[in-house]
Amino acid sequence: MTLNINDDLNIDLSILDAEPADEYHGKAGRYLSSHQLLDFMKCPLLHFKKASGLIAPGDTPAYFLGRAAHVRILEGRDVYEAQFALGGPLNPKTNKPYGTNTQAFRAWAEAQNKPVLSLDQVDNIEAMAAGVAMNDEAVELLLYGRSEGVVRAEYCGTPCQIRIDWTHPHRGIVDLKTCDELTWFEADARRYRYGNQLAFYQSVLERVIGRHVPVHIIAVEKREPYRCGVWRVSDDTLAIARRENEAAIRRLLDCRARDHWPTGYESIRILDVA
């Protein structure tokens, strides 16, 4: 093992509130989240339209699968099976599940009163869980701690909230990501601003416990060979992202005060692709 327990870090996990995802997201109007801040950094107008309900929240197949994988890997099989209907009915003639486009499957799905995962999706999620279980570093990080803990605090003059995938009392914040190919994960991390997301988590948690904690990412592929890797986010990366976040929050507060939501593309830019 290369990850060493931080003996002087002992997070009191009782500070983490247990709160269903729907209840947490339902408070988005009162609290700034990392995803809201990232939307603003991408485009203030996008942030405003989402916050105003002009853009309905979406749930793409990839996001839905990733959310189910989070529950299975971080919260365990019992919670996973309680939150999702798995597999579907069997065709008595073939003893195999009906296809998702069949009337039998649709009728079964409508009767479940909870999100439905097809057999292929269930198999995919189990393969991801097995991939995480094969990585000793990931297993060590997830051996102790608390899943989906909620923290709220004022940060940069605005009420904020975070829902941490996993909090280890001695190793800090652990974020689980699913990806298409682990080879390109570091490029994905830059593209999707994972550093800014996790610096926001780190900073809001710091407002409660009084210190910045280490941050790790566990990433697992959504397809063969379902490789899993673990990254420690560097202190320099988090410090730079923290400054970017704080500058963005200041701009957000100014946009709110002036009720002015630009796109970020109002001026002519220079394109140099040589």
- Convert the pLDDT of each residue in 37-59 to its tens digit: 999 999 999 999 999 999 988 77
Return the number of other C-beta atoms located less than 10 Å from residue 184's C-beta. Answer: 11
Indicate the pLDDT class of residue 7, thresholds 50, 70 and 90.
Answer: low
Instruction: Inform me whether the pLDDT recorded for 2 exceeds 60.
Output: no
14-57+134-258 architecture in CATH?
Answer: Alpha-Beta Complex (3.90)
Q: Report which of 82, 79, 65, 180 is spatially closest to residue 125, judged by C-alpha positions.
A: 65
CA distances from 202 to 14, 189, 193, 198, 260 (A): 17, 17, 14, 6, 29
pLDDT of residue 61: 85
Indicate the pLDDT class of residue 64, thresholds 50, 70 and 90.
Answer: very high
Q: Report which of 223, 236, 255 is spatially closest to residue 41, judged by C-alpha positions.
A: 255
Each domain of the chain, given as residue ranges in start order, spans 14-57+134-258, 59-119
The three-state secondary structure class of 7 is coil
The three-state secondary structure class of 108 is helix
Instruction: Inform me whether the pLDDT recorded for 125 exceeds 70.
Output: yes
CA pseudo-torsion sign 5, 79, 115, 134: positive
Model pLDDT for residues 75-95, shown as the tens digit of each residue: 999 999 999 999 888 888 888
End-to-end distance of the chain based on CA atoms, in angstroms? 46
Whole-model pTM?
0.92
Model pLDDT for residues 197-221, shown as the tens digit of each residue: 999 999 999 999 999 999 999 999 9
